[in-house]
Amino acid sequence: MSLGVRALMLQPRARARSDRIRVDATYAPATPALFDPLTEDTSIQIRDSKGELVCAILGARHWKRSRLHLYRFRDRGGPLTGGLTKARFKVTRGGRVVFHAKGRIPLRPTDGAGILVTVRVGNQCAHSVLDLRSRKTALVFPYELRGAAAPAGWPSTAPLG
Could you write out the DSSP letters of every residue in 82-119? TSEEEEEEEE-TTS-EEEEEEEE--------SSEEEEE
**CATH top class, domain 4-133:** mainly beta
Q: Which band of pLDDT confidence, cut at 50, 70 and 90, is reported for residue 18? A: confident
Q: Is the pLDDT of residue 14 over 80?
A: no
Q: Which band of pLDDT confidence, cut at 50, 70 and 90, is reported for residue 160? A: very low
Mean pLDDT for the chain overall: 87
Q: Is the pLDDT of residue 148 over 80?
A: no
Can you tell me the mean pLDDT for 122-143?
91
Q: What's the confidence (pLDDT) of residue 153?
A: 55
Q: What's the confidence (pLDDT) of residue 76?
A: 84
pTM: predicted TM-score of the whole model, two decimal places: 0.84
Domain boundaries, the chain: 4-133
Comparing 157 with 129, the larger pLDDT belongs to: 129
Can you tell me the mean pLDDT for 75-90?
87
Residue range 23-77, pLDDT digits in tens: 999 999 999 988 999 999 999 999 999 999 999 999 999 999 988 899 999 988 7
Please name the residues in contact with 106: beta carbons below 8 A apart, sequence gap of 6 or more: 16, 17, 19, 82, 83
Q: Is the pLDDT of residue 102 over 90?
A: yes
The CA dihedral of 7, 8, 12, 15, to the nearest 10 degrees, is 70
Q: Is the pLDDT of residue 98 over 60?
A: yes
SS3 61: helix
Q: Is the pLDDT of residue 131 over 60?
A: yes
